[in-house]
């Protein structure tokens, strides 16, 4: 690739990948199109500069788009495995993701046989690809149900090469949750127990889906330390190092996921205990882990992170100032729309108070008010179920907004009710995005912050970095 002057590729992945792929291809500028997710700063910069095309989409939709020919066909699949047999059985490693689909459709296959992963990884996966247009249900009722095979099978003639490696995934180190994250987690646990007391969640609880990042890690850590929780199940997209706290407290009954994104230390621990842990984990293809039918049937409690939310409960998960891509929607939409209870979490402020996570109107909508049931920050929790738009606004302002922005939000809401075209969801369209404009011009959403010497850079990557702390990386 380095020696080819005009060579560029369309890159399809499961979700985020490491430095070895996204960073390298970004640095040599050989990417033409990336789908369906990304989380590397170098690639993000090129996307926001318009130099790389990026399609941000629900992860559960990707397989069908490829299998039905909506996306251009796959020429080459490069897949990591812990073992491959002469009859074409490929045993995957830390991720199932989209591997089954890519292996089924690629013209040529190359296997990275990674000896860092023990052969005991064989048996962790449950590979099943649903038939297109069959209308048949996916027969998964419980998180530990198995309906497929522990390997992907291909015609061995399509395997054009096998490369031996011995290297752990380049996942970022595990970052311990901060104080705000633990406060959010405690609000969430109190809410879940409240739902149990009122009979809306059974005493044995419902399976949890948890996004990634500080807040998600804090939730699992608090469950591990809280004696009121005895045992939990997870049906999720990504599992991080925080799962070890649940294992150490003997509270994890079972976890289903599509990928393990452990730190190097976490990978080593998982491998060393793999013989005992295999009875508690399944790795599924993304079209199963994120499948709306299965999510709805299981009745999941889903917990995802918002970049920002507005007073009516609309959530922006992806775009800084409405235009600069952060990472992508990932699987948050798959889980949120089909959840039994959907929860969004965010620290109420970022950058020392220059940015409020709660605004009059979001600059981009990923999850609309009809899908968002619970909103929570370190300030408190707002139950938005069975509430009118105006009731939701009052709750979010009172329960979730930071004190330094609460009066401003109240003022906007009262003003909007006086001047709005309609009063079902009051807005003043002249002022609705004024907070974002102020942030772009002065570096702060708050009118009393001293104006910085230079306005926020028009370089979207710089702008993204300034708000990066309010977004959590996904799978």
For the purposes of burial, counting CB atoms within 10 Å of the CB of 55, is it exposed (0-12), middle (13-18) or buried (19 or more)?
A: middle
Cα angle value 193/331/188 (rounded, 5°): 15
Q: Give residues with Cβ within 8 angstroms of 374, minimum separation 6.
A: 191, 341, 342, 343, 344, 381, 382, 383, 384, 385
Q: Token pair of 376, please?
A: 């929570």
- 323 backbone φψ class: left, alpha, beta (φ>0; ψ -120 to 50): alpha
Catalytic residue among 237, 287, 308, 378: 237
Place of tokens 């976490």: 266
Closest CA to 288 of 94, 136, 80, 138: 138
* Half-sphere exposure (Cβ direction) of 354: Cα atoms closer than 13 Å: 19
Its sign, for the CA torsion 53, 57, 63, 66, is negative
Q: Token pair of 451, please?
A: 């104006």
CA-based R_g, the chain, Å:
23
Calpha distance 346→375 (Å, rounded): 8
β-strand partners of 314: none
Calpha distance 217→232 (Å, rounded): 15
- 50 backbone φψ class: left, alpha, beta (φ>0; ψ -120 to 50): left
* Half-sphere exposure (Cβ direction) of 131: Cα atoms closer than 13 Å: 6
For the purposes of burial, counting CB atoms within 10 Å of the CB of 20, is it exposed (0-12), middle (13-18) or buried (19 or more)?
A: exposed
Its sign, for the CA torsion 473, 44, 316, 101, is negative
Q: Is 237 a catalytic residue?
A: yes
Residues recognised as catalytic: 237
């Amino acid at each position: 690739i380095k020696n080819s002057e005009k060579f560029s590729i369309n890159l399809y992945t499961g979700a985020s990948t490491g430095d070895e792929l996204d960073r390298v291809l970004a640095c040599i500028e050989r990417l033409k199109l990336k789908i369906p997710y990304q989380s590397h700063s170098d690639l993000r910069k090129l996307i926001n500069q318009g130099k790389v095309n990026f399609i941000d989409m629900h992860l559960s939709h990707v397989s069908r788009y490829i299998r039905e020919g909506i996306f251009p066909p796959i020429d080459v699949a490069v897949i990591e495995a812990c073992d491959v047999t002469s009859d074409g059985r490929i045993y995957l490693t830390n991720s199932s993701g989209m591997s089954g689909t890519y292996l089924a459709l690629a013209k040529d296959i190359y296997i990275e046989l990674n000896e860092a992963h023990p052969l005991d990884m064989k048996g962790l996966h449950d590979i099943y690809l649903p038939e297109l247009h069959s209308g048949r249900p996916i027969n998964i009722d419980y998180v530990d149900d198995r309906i497929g095979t522990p390997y992907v099978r291909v015609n061995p003639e399509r395997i054009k090469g096998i490369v031996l490696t011995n290297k752990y995934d380049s996942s970022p180190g595990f970052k311990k949750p901060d104080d705000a994250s633990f406060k959010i987690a405690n609000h969430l646990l109190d809410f879940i127990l409240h739902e149990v007391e009122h009979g809306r969640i059974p005493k044995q609880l419902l399976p949890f889906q948890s996004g990634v990042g500080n807040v998600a890690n804090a939730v699992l850590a608090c469950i591990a330390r809280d004696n009121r929780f005895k045992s939990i199940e997870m049906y999720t997209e990504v599992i991080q190092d925080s799962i070890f706290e649940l294992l150490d407290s003997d509270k994890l009954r079972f976890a289903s996921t599509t990928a393990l994104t452990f730190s190097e230390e976490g990978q080593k621990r998982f491998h060393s205990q793999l013989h005992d842990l295999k009875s508690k984990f399944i790795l599924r293809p993304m079209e199963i882990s994120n499948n709306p039918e299965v999510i709805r049937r299981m009745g999941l409690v889903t917990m995802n992170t918002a970049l920002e939310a507005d007073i009516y409960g609309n959530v922006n998960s992806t775009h800084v100032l409405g235009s600069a891509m952060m990472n992508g929607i990932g699987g948050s939409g798959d889980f949120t729309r089909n959840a039994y209870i959907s929860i969004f979490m965010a620290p109420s402020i970022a950058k020392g108070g220059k940015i409020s996570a709660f605004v009059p109107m979001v600059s981009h909508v990923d999850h609309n008010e009809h899908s968002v049931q619970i909103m929570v920050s370190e300030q408190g929790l707002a139950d938005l179920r069975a509430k009118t738009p105006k009731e939701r606004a009052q709750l979010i302002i009172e329960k979730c907004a930071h004190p330094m922005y609460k009066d401003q939000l109240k003022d906007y809401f009262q003003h909007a009710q006086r001047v709005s075209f309609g009063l079902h969801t009051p807005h003043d369209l002249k002022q609705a995005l004024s907070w974002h404009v102020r942030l772009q011009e002065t570096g702060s959403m708050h009118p009393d912050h001293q104006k910085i010497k230079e306005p926020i850079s028009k370089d979207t990557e710089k702008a993204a970095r300034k708000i990066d702390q309010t977004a959590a990386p996904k799978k």
